[in-house]
Amino acid sequence: MRKVYITGLGFISSIGNNAQSVAQSLRDLRHGITLFEPFQREDCPVKVAAPVRGFDVSSLDPEDWTLPEGVSLRREVLRGMSPHVAYAWCAMREALADAGLSEADISNADTGLYAASGGSPYMLHGLLTRMNDHGVMRVSPLAVVSSISGTLNFNLVAHLRIKGASCGFSSACASSAHALGFAHDEIVLGRQKRMLVVGAEDCNRESILPFASMRALSLQTDPDQASRPFDAARDGFVGTGGATVLVLESEEEVARRGAKVYCEMAGWGQASDGHNVAISHPEGAGLQAAMQNALRHSGVQASEISYVNAHATSTPIGDLSEARALRRLFTEAGLQPAISSTKALTGHGLSLAGALESGLCALALRDGFTPGSANITRLDPGCEGLRILRQTLPEAPRVILNNSSGFGGANVCVVLRRA
Amino acid sequence: MPDSVPAPAGSTTPVTSSSTRRFTAEDEALLRESLRRCAPSAFEAAVQFRKTGNHEHVPSILMGIIERFVEPDLRPKLREGDDDLRLVEDLGIDSLTMMEIVILAEGVLQMSINNEELRNLRNIGDIKAFIDAKIRGVPTAAPARFTPVDELSAVLPVQPPFLFLNEASVGPDGAKGKYRITGQEFFLQGHFKGNPVMPASIMIEAIGQLAMLYLIQAMPVEAGQIVTPGSIYFTGCEGIRAHRICRPGDTLSLSIKPKRSKCPLATFEGSIRVGQEKAVMVEELTLTFGLMPKPESA
């Protein structure tokens, strides 16, 4: 099987807007959660979120936005964007620079782009309100392009002049892990030499608060306590947004370009719960199968895994079902890989989660640390037998599993290996 | 991304409500909001138009709206006020931006424009004339027929390297064309030594070629007849003035209007400008032509 490497990373996240600051946040267990101004209303019981800093993308009109210094976009580029596309644009700039790729290097038949976001409910709502209030013919002609699921790939593929494979993935919180998996396959199958993988989400009332009524969000008012996967008192996830871009390249391309690598992406696997539209399988059956498929596909033994970046979002049901799946795969085989959920620091990025966390794992492999699971005061007894890291370890794992699970019971597991 | 956005046809009825309905403070606030990225003069003009219905304000409203959608580096071009400025080629306005312009103009001028009407608007002058006709409730002029460079050599008997038109639009009242002097024209090697200047005689030839296109595409002749393309020749020219030296890099904007015709002669007036500057003016240029029966298939 052709080998696939991660050669570039770009982050716009609640814990940093570049790889260096993100890595430092992971080492220091510094979170990005805060009392989020748009939530501070009496009718809103949710108070915290993990917002992105350095952007003001709160207007429906992209021409009003403030982007980080040094980023300027022509009106014709900006007009079809939603907030998360602007995040992704900035993360892409960083990832391409990191990988040492020019515009010409990515605009060719050998380079593709796979993306995942939930679209922009904020833009969609604003534009539909305008349509209903002002008339069907009074909405921006870019209304559809800037708001529906797919806006992320439409914008990036067109404006980066991508000529290879392009597609958007939609499996909720497993979306960008799916994008990463299928991007890996494109290279393994020899269809593409290089894939850009993008995960992104808005971070606003419209992207996060619809999860409140299903009781999935933490109602904590103390940002330091809000996101605590595997803690006995966890009460839901903390929403975040932002973007992560990963550059995947074939072994030949890495050699030809003399590119530096973060790590190898050894393979991936997926499986579905076939259980409930929104609740994960109580025994984590689908997730366990996804991990087993990922190991088999990568030719890696469970005993080789030294770290699992768990999906664990800090919801009571989800974390427990993942803990059960991990226990059956590892503990019952006498294995003790380090386990943590970086969502304690970043918040839960929904469609962004898989790409973000695989990005964090790639950083850990290159920079030589194993991220800890923050904010655990009292470990959930359901996690007994699992080696859940409370602090970041100053040593690199050798092989990592990164889990993601989404609505409908979709489960994806990505395998990353030290290069 | 689709290069044009389909939309259902809108009403084509002229606007009469602007002067009959009272213009409220709320209307003014809405207008200010929708024109907030346009020059203040466009907003002032829009207020006046909505209060009085006076059509004279429309051009400055439209120019303000168009300017807002043109990239800042291209705006000085627009301010020169050349009606021949092309929306796509000169101003970078694609079909989606055209939609944005239309949506804003519809809201401000309280009118609706359908897709068919938009398709033929190629330059600033077309937009001004179209909106003006629409607001007055008079029929919009028949759209000019546009011929791009690769079709010109199929239509005209004259061919490269002696074809001095890159594109042309022919309507019932005359024709307009463009030619960009590339510097590669063979005769510039000798005209003059180390100092390439477009010969005035060639510029008159270019006017003649545009008149030739008019004869072929739009000359009114007896029913069942057409002008024979191979029958057109130059007979005379009067009142020629050259005002400006034209060099490689200049884009010539050519224009001809028919003055009189009686088979086998047709007389035109013609001009060439570069931007807003006069380059060559021709009071009369006369061509001779022959007719032939219209082929069945045409």
| Within-domain flag for B186 | yes
Mean pLDDT of B206-217: 95
Long-range contact pairs involving A155-159 (C-beta distance under 8 Å, separation at least 24): A155/A77, A155/A80, A155/A81, A155/A85, A155/A89, A156/A85, A156/A88, A156/A89, A156/A92, A156/A113, A156/A115, A156/A196, A156/A198, A157/A113, A158/B1, A159/A77, A159/A89
Nearest CB to A76: which of B7, B10, B97? B97
Chain A CB within 8 Å of residue B100 CB: yes
DSSP state of B23: -
Domain boundary among B88, B116, B136: B136
Cβ atoms of residues A59 and A23 within 8 Å: no
Same domain, B256 and B289: yes
CA A16/CA A54 separation, integer angstroms: 10
Chain A CB within 8 Å of residue B74 CB: no
Nearest CB to A141: which of B37, B92, B99? B99
CA A349/CA A241 separation, integer angstroms: 5
What is the H or E stretch that residue A271 is in?
strand A263-272
Cβ separation B69–A75 shorter than 8 A: yes
Query: Chain A 132-191, CB below 8 Å of chain B: which residues?
Result: 134, 137-142, 145, 154, 158
| Helix B124-136, helix B58-69: angle, nearest 10 | 140
CA A379/CA A387 separation, integer angstroms: 11
| CA of A22 vs chain B CAs: smallest distance (Å) | 35
- Number of domains chain B is built from: 2
Query: Chain A 38-67, CB below 8 Å of chain B: which residues?
Result: 63
| Helix B40-52, helix B95-109: angle, nearest 10 | 50
| Within-domain flag for B4 | no
Q: Which residues of A touch B10 (CB under 8 A)?
A: 137
**C-alpha dihedral sign at A15, A17, A19, A20:** negative
| CA of B99 vs chain A CAs: smallest distance (Å) | 6
Confidence (pLDDT) at A149: 94
| Within-domain flag for B91 | yes
Catalytic residue IDs of A: 173, 311, 348
Cβ atoms of residues A180 and A96 within 8 Å: no
For the question of an ipTM over 0.90, the answer is no
| Within-domain flag for B206 | yes
Nearest CB to B10: which of A137, A141, A145? A137
Span B99-148, pLDDT tens digits: 899 899 988 988 888 777 777 788 888 888 888 888 888 777 666 778 88
Confidence (pLDDT) at B7: 39
Q: Which residues of A touch B2 (CB under 8 A)?
A: none
Closest CA in chain B for residue A154: B1
Domain boundary among B136, B160, B178: B136
Span A109-142, pLDDT tens digits: 999 999 999 999 999 999 999 999 988 988 999 9
Cβ separation A75–B103 shorter than 8 A: no
Q: Which residues of B touch A139 (CB under 8 A)?
A: 103
Cβ separation A79–B100 shorter than 8 A: yes
Confidence (pLDDT) at B142: 65
Confidence (pLDDT) at B124: 87
Q: How many CB atoms lie within 10 A of CB A256?
A: 11
Same domain, B51 and B100: yes
| Helix B25-34, helix B95-109: angle, nearest 10 | 160
- The chain-wide mean pLDDT, for chain A, equals 97
Chain A CB within 8 Å of residue B199 CB: no
Same domain, B122 and B158: no
Mean pLDDT of A1-9: 95
For residue A154, whether the previous peptide bond is cis, meaning omega lies within 30 degrees of 0, is no
**Residue B191 structural domain:** 145-293
Mean pLDDT of B232-254: 95
Cβ separation A137–B106 shorter than 8 A: yes
Closest-CA residue to A269 (of A300, A306, A314):
A300
List of residues 6+ apart from B154 with CB closer than 8 A: none
Chain A CB within 8 Å of residue B112 CB: yes
Chain A CB within 8 Å of residue B117 CB: no
Same domain, B131 and B166: no
Residue type at position B295: P
| CA of B25 vs chain A CAs: smallest distance (Å) | 18
Domain boundary among B97, B119, B136: B136
Cβ separation A137–B7 shorter than 8 A: yes
- Of A393 and B15, the one with more pLDDT: A393
Q: Which residues of B touch A140 (CB under 8 A)?
A: 100, 103
| CA of A60 vs chain B CAs: smallest distance (Å) | 13
- CATH number of residue B124's parent domain: 1.10.1200.10
What are residue B192's phi and psi, to 5 degrees?
-115, 175
Every domain of chain A and the residues it spans: 4-417
* Structure tokens that stand for B146 in this block: 């546009």
Q: Which residues of B touch A80 (CB under 8 A)?
A: 1
What's the pLDDT band for A14 if we cut at 50, 70, 90?
very high
Same domain, B62 and B182: no
Confidence (pLDDT) at B114: 77
Residue type at position A105: D
**Chain-centroid distance, C-alpha B54:** 25
Fold topology of A4-417: Peroxisomal Thiolase; Chain A, domain 1 (3.40.47)
CA B146/CA A111 separation, integer angstroms: 39
- CATH number of residue B265's parent domain: 3.10.129.10
| CA of A108 vs chain B CAs: smallest distance (Å) | 18
CA A340/CA A355 separation, integer angstroms: 16
Same domain, B101 and B163: no
What are residue B10's phi and psi, to 5 degrees?
-95, 180
Same domain, B199 and B113: no
CA A115/CA B92 separation, integer angstroms: 29
The beta strands (E) that lie in chain B are given as 145-148, 167-171, 174-180, 225-227, 233-242, 251-262, 265-274, 277-288, 291-293
Does B5 score more than 80 pLDDT? no
Cβ separation A142–B96 shorter than 8 A: yes
| CA of A140 vs chain B CAs: smallest distance (Å) | 7
Closest CA in chain A for residue B114: A137
* Structure tokens that stand for A361 in this block: 């794992």
Cβ separation A140–B100 shorter than 8 A: yes
For the whole prediction, is pTM greater than 0.95?
A: no
Cβ separation B100–A63 shorter than 8 A: no
Span A51-96, pLDDT tens digits: 999 999 999 999 999 999 999 999 889 999 999 999 999 999 999 9
What's the pLDDT band for B13 if we cut at 50, 70, 90?
very low
Confidence (pLDDT) at B1: 41
Same domain, B37 and B161: no
Q: Please name every residue paired with A198 in a beta bridge, in sequence order, or none if there are none.
A: A115, A245
| CB-count burial class (<10 Å; 0-12, 13-18, 19+) for A372 | buried
Instruction: Give CA separation, A311 vs A51, A129, A212, A233, A408, in Å.
Output: 20, 35, 19, 18, 15
Mean pLDDT of A1-7: 95
Q: What 3-state class would DSSP assign to A311?
A: coil
Q: What 3-state class would DSSP assign to B151?
A: helix
Residue type at position B123: N
Same domain, B49 and B188: no
Confidence (pLDDT) at B297: 60
Q: Which residues of A touch B7 (CB under 8 A)?
A: 137
Confidence (pLDDT) at B3: 44
Q: Order across the sheet with A399-406: list the strands.
A: A166-169, A111-116, A194-201, A242-250, A4-12, A263-272, A410-417, A399-406, A307-309, A338-340, A387-388
Does A381 score more than 50 pLDDT? yes
